[in-house]
Structure 1
Amino acid sequence: MNIFDLAAGADGPGPAAVATCSRKACRSEASWQLLWNNPKIHTPERRKIWLACTDHRDWLEDYLQTRGLWKETVELVTGAGSAPSGQDR
């Protein structure tokens, strides 16, 4: 085994990635996607994504709304145990 094997997960595919909450230090499974953008640096149609568990949804939403960044909150739907692509934290 070499360092490249370790980085690639040489022991084979592990368990499916679980989408986790974006709240600092929270490792709960996410149930929500908070879509946002920063109008000072992003084009209007661009959407960044934070994931939220049920316990932190309101906190993260309030954080984004206070700064004028929040656009929409939608339920997280993952297919066949895969994490959503394009997750930004």
Structure 2
Amino acid sequence: MGNTAPDAHCSRKGCREAATWALVWNNPRLHTPDRRKVWVACDEHRAYLAGFLEMRGFLRETVPMDRFEG
């Protein structure tokens, strides 16, 4: 999947909160089925970022950062 630093900040533009969630996704038009990209989110922005990815059919899973093996 890719490395995500333990002190990662939320992927929401302008947010500097610590990330507590890993949103694992891929764009099937661009990526092979096994390729995974990761956005990280704080508690406040998890739903927003997940909704953005889900609307496009990109979201594969949401994992707490303490259980994410990236």
TM-score band, normalised by the shorter chain?
A: 0.7 to 0.9
> Which residue number corresponds to residue 14 of structure 2?
25
Equivalent residue runs for 1:41-60 within 5 Å? 41-60=30-49
Greater RCO (Cα-Cα under 8 Å, separation 6 or more): 2
Where does structure 2 lack aligned partners over 5 or more consecutive residues? 1-5
Structure that is richer in strand per residue = 2
Which among 18, 26, 29 is matched to residue 40 of structure 1? 29
Instruction: Work out the CA distance in 1 between the residues paired with 2:41 and 2:34.
Output: 22
Percent of residue pairs identical: 50
SS of the counterpart of 1:59? helix
Larger radius of gyration: 1
Quote how far apart the aligned CAs of 1:40 are: 0.4
